[in-house]
Amino acid sequence: MIKFLPDCINKLLVDHQVSQKEVLECFANGEAIYLEDTDEEHRTDPPSWWFMAPTNRNRMLKVCFIRRDGDVVIKTAFEPSSGKHLELYRQRAGLPSCWPSEE
């Protein structure tokens, strides 16, 4: 189950203008390739994971989450600040150069 804690819901809406619905759309529309966040300042226990995917309106979001007791707990989601983030995800996930466009 995908869970949104109350503080996260507020952070998504106020800080990033992202709805819970959009986050769920990203899980549905994504490639199911989740990368562990190994950046020292983002390390958590349990580990944080992230991926990038479009919403149903083609808004690209980076979604960050942890896995806890069989659930996915959302930490944050936001539009990447530059194309570098998209390229990094594409490369690390082993996606084709045409991603996220349709082939």
- Delimit the domains of the chain by residue range: 2-93
Peptide bond into 54 cis (omega under 30): no
CA 9 to chain centre: 14
Quote the CA–CA distance of 62 and 100 in Å, as a whole number.
13
| Residue 103: per-residue pLDDT | 47
pTM of structure? 0.91
Q: Tell me, what's the pLDDT at 102?
A: 60
Q: How much is the pLDDT for 24?
A: 98
Secondary structure class of 35 (helix, strand, coil): strand
Q: SS3 of 10, please?
A: helix
pLDDT of residue 98: 87
Q: Which residues of the chain register pLDDT less than 50?
A: 103
Judged by phi (left if over 0) then psi (alpha if -120 to 50, else beta), residue 58 lies in left
